[in-house]
């Protein structure tokens, strides 16, 4: 009989140990769940502290673009309502205005489906490379930089070594020396016919006049 009691006690100890193991598993599972939730909370907290894109910076960019557009329109109006000589002196006194004008000009042109200067570049590439070209109002001299032809580039201000700064009604070219005269969005001013007279003077008889017009 004593042996039977001891067996029962041993069995009781074995059967009682199982719930304890299960309880330990539940504790570990809860700890893991809490740890996961804790790491997620830390990630969310860290994300909330990251710098967000500033709405004020985008607003300032828009305002700067509008201001640049306003300056361009003002300068464009000035160029249409003064003579070539007056425009030449205007930019000569303050060359920064010329930079401002061409920045606005490039921004406006970026919205066009086709760049007129590219059409003229293609025309020249499709024709005789020996043609000598006079580019009146060349800007950044893109035409000269993209063709094999000899190009004389003229504008009110020279921002490139290849550009000759002058009143375009009085270029330094000799008469009847060029094959192609180009006005790409540059026939502006109250005396623009004088530019055409100058183009006629420097063109060889029977050669080509190319022009692209715009109303900004």
Give the tens place of pLDDT for each residue, 12-36: 444 444 444 444 444 444 544 444 4
- The gap from C-alpha 181 to its chain's centroid, in whole angstroms, comes to 30
pLDDT digit string, tens, across residues 126-160: 999 999 999 999 988 999 999 999 999 999 988 88
Higher pLDDT, 106 or 124: 124
Whole-angstrom Cα distance, residue 124 to residue 127?
5
Q: Is 177 helix (H, G, I), strand (E, B) or coil?
A: coil
Q: Provide mean pLDDT across the span 181-197.
A: 91
Q: How far is Cα 45 from Cα 32, in angstroms, rounded to an integer?
A: 20
The answer to whether residues 203 and 178 touch, using CB atoms and an 8 Å cutoff, is yes
The residues facing 134 across adjacent strands are 152, 181
Q: What predicted TM-score, i.e. pTM, was given to this entire model?
A: 0.64
The contacts of residue 193 (CB under 8 Å, 6+ apart) are none
Among the residues of the chain, which ranges form H helices?
Answer: 2-49, 55-80, 84-93, 95-109, 116-125, 142-145, 192-202
pLDDT digit string (tens) for 42-53?
544 454 555 554
Bridge partners (DSSP) listed for residue 109: none
């Amino acid at each position: 009989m004593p042996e039977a009691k001891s067996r029962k006690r041993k069995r009781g100890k074995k059967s009682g140990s199982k719930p304890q193991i299960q309880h330990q598993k539940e504790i570990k599972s809860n700890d893991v769940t809490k740890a996961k939730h804790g790491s997620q909370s830390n990630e969310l907290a860290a994300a909330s502290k990251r710098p967000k894109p500033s709405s004020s910076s985008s607003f300032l960019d828009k305002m700067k673009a509008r201001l640049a557009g306003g300056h361009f329109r003002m300068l464009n109006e000035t160029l249409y309502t003064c003579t070539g000589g007056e425009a030449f002196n205007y930019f000569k006194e303050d060359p920064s205005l010329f930079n401002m004008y061409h920045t606005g000009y490039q921004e406006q042109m970026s919205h066009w489906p086709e760049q007129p200067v590219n059409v003229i570049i293609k025309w020249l590439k499709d024709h005789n490379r020996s043609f000598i070209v006079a580019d009146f109002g060349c800007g950044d001299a893109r035409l000269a930089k993209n063709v094999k032809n000899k190009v004389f580039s003229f504008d009110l201000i020279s921002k490139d070594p290849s550009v000759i700064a002058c009143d375009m009604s009085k270029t330094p070219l000799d008469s009847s020396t060029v094959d192609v005269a180009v006005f790409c969005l540059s026939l502006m001013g109250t005396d623009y016919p004088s530019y055409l007279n100058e183009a006629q003077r420097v063109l060889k008889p029977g050669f080509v006049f190319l022009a692209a017009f715009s109303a900004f």
